[in-house]
Structure 1
Amino acid sequence: MNTRELQALYDLALRLSGVHDLDALLQDVVAQARRMLDVDIAYLALVEDDGGLTIEVTDGSLGPRLRGVRLAPHVGVAGRVADRGEPVRSSDYLADRDLTHSDAVDRVAREEGLRTIVGVPLRLRGRVIGVLMVAQRRVREFTGRDMSFLTSLGSFAAVAIDNARLITEHRRAAAELTAANAELRRHVGGAERAARMHGRMLAIALRGDGAEEVVLAVSAEFSGTVLLLDERDRPRVAASGGRVRPAPRFAGERPSAAFAAERRTRRDGDTVTVPVASARAYFGALRVTPGAPLQDQDVRVLERAAMTLALVLVVERAVGDAERRTATDLVEQLVGGRIGDEAAFARRARSVGLDLRAAHRVLVAEAADDAGALERLGELVRERGGLAARLRGRLVALVRADGPDGPDGADGADGADEAALRAFAATVGGTCGLGGPATGAADLAAAHADASACVTVLKSLAREGTCAAPSDLGPYRYLLSASGRADADRFVRATVGPLLDHDARRGGDLVRTADAFLTGGRHHTGTAAALHVHANTLYQRLDRITALLGDGWRDGDRALDVQLALRLHRLANDLCGDPPPNP
């Protein structure tokens, strides 16, 4: 080789030592071979695992077909170079019958117009890893110096390829190690988080804290928003960043019935919803939207937190059930006058929040959503002091008239408390009666009788869904006392007694007919329709009523007296099932 060629090899070696991208390196090699040997085309093929070769780069080709051509083992100039491990030249490739040909390779050679092809091996540690080839589109004689230069270039290229592969492998190994370290750090961080949360959950369970503490701990650990839904998918507790937040009225997308049945964790984007359940009951779900995406370990931590929540809620439910049973027993004894030892009863009442020495108002309600209303009543008595229970199909609440901290000495305290009860009654959507304020067992029993009677009167007057205290009932309030009921009974007997006696003896419907006739504005057609009787039947009944009560019962003040007496009679019958009236 002359000085120019040696300098070119030296410059190429320096360049190749700094090139770590294999494709760029191979392209530089073939470009240098084509330039230094002044050939039409240069290309380089690498040996595959099965002994075949694939042309990786070209320089000077007429089209893209040459690059990517796969050469089967032993085929063509490249195959022979790979087999022998020494340079091979063919003066006229397509006419050279000494070589093994293939149709695919020959077709590409014709398209490129190749005649003379020379190939040298890329040897590395005694093994051929590729072949560097140059070609001319005319017959050319390559000199020994040309072959020497090309062989040296191939040797440099083999070393550079090996270095590039090593560097690529090192980089891949380093990347894998970095990823493994990051994964290890995540696992360690997850394990530390799991241990930390386990300690918090254990402490919460041992202290007997409520569900709110669990939600706070989860929101603090995951720096996100946490929402606890109850078994009816209503928001119960909300927290963010370790602080309690106002629970939204709606929880957004509701967990499906299938979710409650399967009790499996569900992921929707970054939000994770974990069921809170015991072996026998579904309590709701823990919905977490974290500050950062959760790993699988984090989800398992949330699932363990949900288990702690389930344990806390099981205890809460058991305590609540026991308290409700106690509350029901106490209220039943109180309103039924079955107290026995008053001192012992007072101590037992104080143990569940009912201080008989303080003034209380009594609320009795019939609500469509009985369970929901009882839950809200429980919240009311926890806030203001008192006791709530379900008794004989109605809800009963004894609510402190002066608040849980004792009397404030202001006359407005009672009014404010009654306003709170009326506001609550509006949220129940049922029929409510109020009694009191009253102090002591006997007076509370009487206040309960008043409140219960108010409910009955409201229903009898077709005023369902409203709330009333005795003062709201007008003339009907006198039915709430024993003396008032006695006076009303005398008035009823004096006014419509013959009708009552007739129906009692003969099982007739004259009382109901007279009531419907007067209530319906004395319209014959409407009354007959309301009673589901023929018009002739109605006329016969009205004649019989006239015979018993005398002429004029359906006109003027007499009609008002008859209608009032009939209504009082109906109310008195409805009140028969209520607690005894006040004396």
Structure 2
Amino acid sequence: MGSIVSQGRKAGASALTVLELLAAEAPISHFESLVDDARRQGMGEADLALLETAKRLGLAVYAQAERRQRKEARLAAFIEAGKGIATVFDVPSLLSVLALKARQLFDLDIAWITVFGRDAGTVTVSACDGHTTALRTGLRIPDDPAMSSANAPFWTPDFTTDERLAHSYALDSLMESEGIHAVAAIPLTDGARPFGTLYVAGRSARWFTSAEVSLMTSLAELADLTIEKTRMLERAADCLSGAEGRRDEARTAAETAAVHGRLMSVVLDGGGLDALLDEAGRHLRGALRVHAPDGGILAGTDGMPAESETDTLRAMVDAHALREPILLDCGLWAAPLLAGDRDLGTLLLHPARPLADGDDRLLSLTAQTVAALLLLQHTTAPSASGHDRDWLLDDLLTSAQRPAGRFEERAARLGIDLTRPHVVVVARPEDEVQDNRTAIWASSYARRMNGLKSMHAGCAVLLLPGTDATAAAEQVSRGLTPLLDRPVTVCASGPVTSPAGVSAAFQEALRCLEAMIALGATGGFTSSGEHGFLGVLLSDTHDVEGFIRSMIGPLVAYDTQRYTEFTRTLDAYFDAGGSINRTAERLHVHPNTVGRRLERIGDLLGTNWQQPERAFEIQLALRLSRIQHVLKTRRPSLGSD
């Protein structure tokens, strides 16, 4: 160490000193003591400052290497867990292996798996791993819907204090007896059907990172594929003992399961998308291409025909709406790439011949395998931002009181600057059916525009960069309406330039949208600031005074200065249905007088004051002014009884 410090005394030698420590894989304590040792040896302040900087950079490299090693170790453990799961061929054994591998992979105390039964509200523990007392295989326990959602993972740092949970007496007692605090729950499926839930838990409170949750989801996705393959083999075995026709069905199922096993081997042996598509294309006898959620091409094989962006987007939307492969009019097959409620993209197949019996099932399994590979790649990427992109707008809409800096930091990781102008767009399809085509399109559109998307009460909510709210509403309307083949009402608000403004802009856009529907403007698009009277009714500020001034301000000012009665004349004219004679009767003046006054009113308000939309807003301003005057005259004086 002394020789190292002596080298550090020379200008520029500090960087070399730190590099030597890094090359020697020295313990971190050597880095920490480097500056103190040099100071005791009499190093000058300038060289000490240089050494301090080199030490800080060296520690950063050291930390990065440690993180990389941990990630590589966890990935290796994940691959081993996946291989262990994929080589099991009966469901009970599969669930036992899954519980064991999940507990070991995340270094937790307990893991167990519940499966859904016929009785609603209860589930059965089908596998359990770890030291337990009351929790055991075969135990029937109450189901908590918050944890066992069929679409999305759930996790909590402390089960005992989480108010999102139902907290039934039986389930709370079980958790207490096991001393469980931190819990993560990942849904399992058998094909498209909910199958059960994988739980991993610790006996102390802890936060699960988004990377851990993604890795858990990846493990569950591999298990889902193996469950389905195992079910296929079980059905094939049953068919073999039946009639001749069922034996053909058994052979098809067994061949499909075997191909699926080879596809899974490609994933677990480290193969990429290209290798997986090549293997799948040989068995499906066609060309394949994978599209990202925003429509971009991730990988593909030769032989795919060219299609328009609109056709690709429609294929993606339709396939995800049904959550299964579909045959398109152009002869292509489109299969959704899903991981629970996460949209990972779309798989397109151009078959060289019509699909044979069982090929559609193989296409579905291929899509699930591609989804598993994409999920694994997302999990091991330097920044797995998929979850955060899905949840950021939800948090902006519902948790506006959180520190703005935290939102800005999360958005920056997604390449979004919340301090730059953004508009909020709300789109509601008419007669929304129970599918997710709106959400799928909105997700794709938001990614293409570098924005965010959320869903609220059947409405798609988009946060998009820009300053023109009306133009944003028009683009959303023109993009979404043709895909859904039904009217879509769209309203936008903004721009906003801070996280705190997003929630207020959303509420304003939503009020505008509801007013449009109430006014019979279903299927149109607008912005909350485009129409004067809508701005008064729907904005947070309710600037009635400003609206009145903008509509009849010149008239009121002229009457005040000249003691004329133009405002009263205009009010009477509208009340008389636009009849000059009836107006004259109400005002007790000659019709020619009314005519001259109306000419002057036109000079003050503009020649278009009698156009229907303009006349409506002027009448509204007159009515508001009259009501305002009545309310002001009814105010009690200060100090009155």
Please indicate the TM-score interval, normalised by the length of the shorter structure: 0.3 to 0.5
In the superposition, the TM-score normalised over structure 1's length comes to 0.36
Greater CA radius of gyration, 1 or 2? 1
In the superposition, the TM-score normalised over structure 2's length comes to 0.33
